[in-house]
Structure 1
Amino acid sequence: MDSHGKTHQKEHDDDDVSPNPVTLSKYSNRVEIKTLLERSDLGARFSGKRVVIGGWVKSSRAVKKDLPPPPPPPVLAIPPPSSGGNQASTTANISCTEIIQSKMNIFRKLFDVLSGGGKTYPIFDKPELAGQKTAPPPEYILYLSVSDGSSVTSIQVVVDSAMSTVPPTQLMALGTCIVAEGVLRQPMAASAKHVIELEAEKLLHVGTVDPEKYPLSKKQLPLHLLRDFSHFRPRTTTVGSVTRVHSALTFASHTFLQYNGFQYVQVPVITTTGFGEMFRVTTLLGKTDDKEEKKHVKEKDGFSVDTVKAAIKEKTKLIDHLKRSDSNREAVVAAVHDLKKTSDLASQLEMKQKPKAATLIKPEKLDFSKDFFGCDTYLTVSGRFHLESYASALGKVYTFGPRFIADKIDNARHLAEMWNVEAEMAFSELDDAMDCADEFFKFLCKYLLENRHEDMKFISKRADKTIIMRLEATASNSLLRFSYTEAISLLQKATSRTFETKPEWGFALTEEHLSYLTDEIYKGPVIIHSHPKEVKPFYIRLNDDKNTVAAFDLVVPKVGVVITGSQNEERFEILDARIGESGYTTKEKYEWYLDLRRHGTVKHSGISLKMEHMLLFATGLPDIKDAIPFPRSWGKANN
């Protein structure tokens, strides 16, 4: 900490020898708003305390200061009476002289107006004499609602505009960052909605915004518009609350698993195994055999695309220069026309280059043995394969990380990158995994109710008024469990309901089917287990009926599947046969996975919680793209 920081630290320590000391934010010299306002007395105990607060302006208003009244006119000094007899005459002479002098300006102005001479001025306007200073700008009392992100609540900071080096309008702009030092006071107005406010005595920092360019200058932008500005959207109150809930779910996940004896393990993001649509990892794109090095397409005059693009940049700079230098209109028009011709030429060259570039990126022409890893590699779709190897040694393990799916789907429930909490347990079967999922899910709901209640209250007003009641009901009740076969039977009996996809045994349950079961029949979360082997991955344990596998889905209203789980196949022969049935041509990639069955195999099961889907259930948000800080979906990766 520098000397300036030490000084502030000492000042705060000196101020807080009295009861109810304020708590400094660790690694900072400011006080977090949460520690002041999220109390039973809403911060009243801290009235009179000196603090430093930093944050961003959420809203503001200004009240013009009352100017002090002008000083009274000077009283004429009357000399004391003399001993002579001319006292009255002297007093009268002085008074008349002073009166005549004080009225001379009025007579002079009347004479100027009547005679047509001299200068005239509008009423209330005064001529500015040489060297005379203009009137100072008006001063305001600014009321700034400031948030530092620690809480859904903001604190009002009262600032005298005279103490700031920036204009009041810049201090008041939404998004302006301020660091203010002052004293906490109870507001003067009896109608105030808050218990304490900060009466600023000095501004230590001001970070201004440009309201014309700052995308959050408008209040309460819809969430779908904020996605284009994902680097700014956490400054909104709604996204800030969602982020704190997200953080709480992450912490609660680690807490639950650590408390129940799971060891945390990092698993790789780049893998050689997987299933479904996967993202390939390669460094070979844009490269071919040495004899087929990519060449720039050239015209007869020898110009390449790169040369033409460089010319476009120079011509653009020339146009900007002409506009700044107030050149004649003809010169600007000619330069713009020249730029258009050059741009057209670049487009033509790029079109001719495209067919050759397309042949360069075809995977069948790439030799992955020459790639970075010497083989095909992908972004992982699941970490459970690698967790199994550690569960076979440590008993219970878990991980938390991103999972990638390359399905070209753009809807409210799908992302290309999602974060999963995955756990694996040795000596465990399907019922054990369902018990774990049930308790884990209820623990998360209870944790939010106890630790993020203020954020949940705020989000319920903005997104879904039923979320708190839904979490309370879930946290206090066990989840109903039934088989896939029972689910199909229920759906087929729903004669009053027409489904887009007819429910038939052997086919995966659709979102529409799951919604009907959870939203209309059971009106709450359920666990559906024992699915057909055709709709689940090859590594899940085959049940005794040979038609179903030991897999389950925990399904919740309005969202769908939040947790998946399974007992995985521990029998070598059956797993080996299932890999062959799945049609994987590169079976050797799974030899290490089969080794776990060859040497010291054990019954084991696991679960996978989809964090963003859990957040949708907890907050009532309608779109998963608002449940992750920087969403990646088909056709979009903004920053």
Structure 2
Amino acid sequence: MKTYTVNELLKGEQLLQQVKVNGWIRTFRSNRFIALNDGSTLNNIQCVVDFEDTPEDTLKKLNTGAAVCIEGTLVESQGKGQKYEVQVERIEVLGTSDPETYPIQPKKHSLEFLREKAHLRVRTNTFSAVMRVRSALSFAIHQYFRDNGFYYVHTPVITGSDAEGAGEMFRVSTLDAKNPPLTEDGKVDFKEDFFGKETNLTVSGQLEAEAYAMALGKVYTFGPTFRAENSNTSRHLAEFWMIEPEVAFLDLMGNMDLAEDFIKSVIRYVLDHCREDLEFLEQRLLQEEKGKPQNERSEMSLIEKLHFVLDNNFKRVSYTEAIEILKRSKPNKKKKFQYIIEEWGADLQSEHERYLVEKHFNAPVILFDYPAKIKAFYMRMNEDGNTVRAMDILFPGIGEIVGGSQREERLDVLKERVAALGIPEEELWWYLDLRKFGTAVHSGFGLGFERLVLFVTGMTNIRDVIPFPRTPQNAEF
């Protein structure tokens, strides 16, 4: 007998046929009706048990959370709430579940409680929907790059360089933590370490991706990155996934075109393929919004927000123009911003980015040509000597979602930037080599995958869009 998923059975194509289905019991009521879910869809299929023909010992094991194998006939349902159901002819309990201790009972649980049960929370509708959308987004990302001639590059997780220059990195070492070897001046002697030098978990695959772009033309990375930032906000993780394309012979304007087309493509994919999950998440968000003060509620529903990105051309605005808009804005003049914009050179905060998107332009915004002093060393210096060819994409409700730039391809200028920041040239000798041998204009950007999943699902905490979140003081699972 063929085994079907719940999603397949709910389409009704096996009507009046013998079917087999596996799953977990969501509810069992009246000693007769099992609501069965296997993760293939939000919806459960009702399985009707003949309690007179079912051993009492089996009936006692049909508790919420139990895993079962059911064989029976798919029929049209006589009851309300479902179109099809399975008339059970045989049921096998594969794994029991103690109703007294199983934490995911059929009731509303807080997200905080479910984070403590991260190994089981995906059995709820909310998290199964989020994770199906996450999976679809991941597929759409690979499909987009494949369809557009990119090569997938696996950049190293262990690195000896700090791509962002922030210094907030996790050290990788095999030295004895209590008694490490020391140099003559009393410092840890990393020459005795496994790699013969100080190494860390990567914060970005960009630098290595640039090397491959300068040979393969168009490449991308999509892998885990790590940031040892002691931040417990709803937008930060210590371990997260990054999408980072790099393209040879592409300038900043082309980079903007690529990023806009890429984001629209993957959002269009989930709208086409995850409609049921998105509609559920939209309703969940609407219920959550009802508990907020009127001024804190979103002006757009979840699906409206996704169409807002798809249906609008991204507005391209220089950092300098944006600063003037913000300085003249009512929230700034009336000191409603938490961070008041007073002069050119300020590092924009989420409140400023959202004002530009949601209030001033009413469209996604790409800011470009940022002050060099607030951007990374590898971004190409403009002729004014004050700004770099950087670009950030800003979305409603979330602010910055993409950061990118045209990379500095001139060896002399890059050396000056590295020296100004106090970065030893020997740490980046191979990166500088790329500017010696066949240098060319090239660009790329980084998109934090969890930030994208957060936007697409409407969840409000980044810990809820990754299976097992890693945050300060939390590596439980």
Normalising to structure 1: TM-score of the pair? 0.69
Alignment of 1:185-334 (within 5 A): 185-189=75-79, 192-217=80-105, 219-274=107-162, 275-276=165-166, 277-288=168-179
- Looking at structure 1, the residues matched to 375 and 450 of structure 2 have their Cα atoms a distance apart, in angstroms, of 22
Q: State the Cα distance separating 1:185 from its structure 2 match.
A: 1.1
Partner of 2:468: 630
SS in 1 for 2:221: strand
Q: State the Cα distance separating 1:395 from its structure 2 match.
A: 0.3
Partner of 1:387: 209
Partner of 1:526: 365
- Looking at structure 2, the residues matched to 48 and 460 of structure 1 have their Cα atoms a distance apart, in angstroms, of 35
Alignment of 1:221-620 (within 5 A): 221-274=109-162, 275-276=165-166, 277-288=168-179, 365-464=187-286, 466-494=301-329, 495-503=333-341, 504-584=343-423, 586-620=424-458
- Looking at structure 1, the residues matched to 56 and 122 of structure 2 have their Cα atoms a distance apart, in angstroms, of 28
Q: State the Cα distance separating 1:286 from its structure 2 match.
A: 2.5
Partner of 2:42: 152
Normalising to structure 2: TM-score of the pair? 0.92
Per-residue CA deviations over 1:282-340 (Å, capped at 9, x if unaligned) read: 111424268xxxxxxxxxxxxxxxxxxxxxxxxxxxxxxxxxxxxxxxxxxxxxxxxxx
Alignment of 1:78-93 (within 5 A): none
SS in 2 for 1:531: strand
**Deviates further, 431-440 or 506-515:** 506-515
Larger radius of gyration: 1
Which AA in structure 1 matches 2:16?
Answer: G
Partner of 1:36: 9
Structure with more helix by fraction: 1
Q: State the Cα distance separating 1:169 from its structure 2 match.
A: 4.5
Q: State the Cα distance separating 1:497 from its structure 2 match.
A: 4.8
Partner of 1:50: 18
SS in 1 for 2:277: helix
- Looking at structure 2, the residues matched to 470 and 507 of structure 1 have their Cα atoms a distance apart, in angstroms, of 28
Aligned pairs, how many?
454
Which AA in structure 1 matches 2:318?
Answer: S
SS in 1 for 2:104: helix
- Looking at structure 1, the residues matched to 475 and 364 of structure 2 have their Cα atoms a distance apart, in angstroms, of 32
The answer (yes or no) to whether the contact 1:421–1:611 under 8 Å persists in 2 is yes
* Residue ranges of structure 2 left out of the alignment (5+ in a row): 287-299
Between the aligned residues of both structures, percent identity stands at 41
* Distance change in 2, residues 1:549/1:610 (3 Å): same
Q: State the Cα distance separating 1:165 from its structure 2 match.
A: 5.8
- Looking at structure 1, the residues matched to 402 and 60 of structure 2 have their Cα atoms a distance apart, in angstroms, of 50
The answer (yes or no) to whether the contact 2:370–2:387 under 8 Å persists in 1 is yes
Per-residue CA deviations over 1:361-418 (Å, capped at 9, x if unaligned) read: xx96421110010001011111110001111111000110011111111111111111
SS in 2 for 1:46: coil
The answer (yes or no) to whether the contact 2:9–2:74 under 8 Å persists in 1 is no
1:178 maps to which of 57, 68, 75: 68
- Looking at structure 1, the residues matched to 60 and 128 of structure 2 have their Cα atoms a distance apart, in angstroms, of 25
- Looking at structure 2, the residues matched to 561 and 168 of structure 1 have their Cα atoms a distance apart, in angstroms, of 53
What root-mean-square deviation, in Å, do the aligned CA atoms of Structure 1 and Structure 2 show? 1.8
* Distance change in 2, residues 1:165/1:439 (3 Å): same
Which AA in structure 2 matches 1:56?
Answer: W
The answer (yes or no) to whether the contact 1:265–1:398 under 8 Å persists in 2 is yes
Per-residue CA deviations over 1:85-107 (Å, capped at 9, x if unaligned) read: xxxxxxxxxxxxxxxxxxxxxxx
SS in 1 for 2:403: strand
Q: State the Cα distance separating 1:509 from its structure 2 match.
A: 0.5
* Residue ranges of structure 1 left out of the alignment (5+ in a row): 1-7, 13-29, 63-139, 291-359
- Looking at structure 1, the residues matched to 94 and 357 of structure 2 have their Cα atoms a distance apart, in angstroms, of 51
Per-residue CA deviations over 1:196-243 (Å, capped at 9, x if unaligned) read: 101111113331111222221252211121111111111111100000
* Distance change in 2, residues 1:364/1:452 (3 Å): farther
The answer (yes or no) to whether the contact 1:442–1:476 under 8 Å persists in 2 is no
- Looking at structure 2, the residues matched to 373 and 167 of structure 1 have their Cα atoms a distance apart, in angstroms, of 58
Q: State the Cα distance separating 1:174 from its structure 2 match.
A: 1.8
Per-residue CA deviations over 1:220-273 (Å, capped at 9, x if unaligned) read: 211121111111111111100000000011000011111011001100000000
SS in 1 for 2:25: strand
- Looking at structure 2, the residues matched to 483 and 187 of structure 1 have their Cα atoms a distance apart, in angstroms, of 60
- Looking at structure 1, the residues matched to 110 and 355 of structure 2 have their Cα atoms a distance apart, in angstroms, of 29
- Looking at structure 2, the residues matched to 245 and 59 of structure 1 have their Cα atoms a distance apart, in angstroms, of 25
Which AA in structure 2 matches 1:597?
Answer: R
- Looking at structure 1, the residues matched to 151 and 260 of structure 2 have their Cα atoms a distance apart, in angstroms, of 20
Which AA in structure 1 matches 2:448?
Answer: K
- Looking at structure 1, the residues matched to 306 and 468 of structure 2 have their Cα atoms a distance apart, in angstroms, of 26
The answer (yes or no) to whether the contact 1:413–1:559 under 8 Å persists in 2 is no
Q: State the Cα distance separating 1:490 from its structure 2 match.
A: 1.2
- Looking at structure 2, the residues matched to 197 and 35 of structure 1 have their Cα atoms a distance apart, in angstroms, of 12
Structure with more strand by fraction: 2
Partner of 2:291: none
- Looking at structure 2, the residues matched to 59 and 630 of structure 1 have their Cα atoms a distance apart, in angstroms, of 26
The answer (yes or no) to whether the contact 1:288–1:366 under 8 Å persists in 2 is no
SS in 1 for 2:41: coil
- Looking at structure 1, the residues matched to 374 and 273 of structure 2 have their Cα atoms a distance apart, in angstroms, of 38
SS in 2 for 1:198: strand
SS in 2 for 1:606: strand
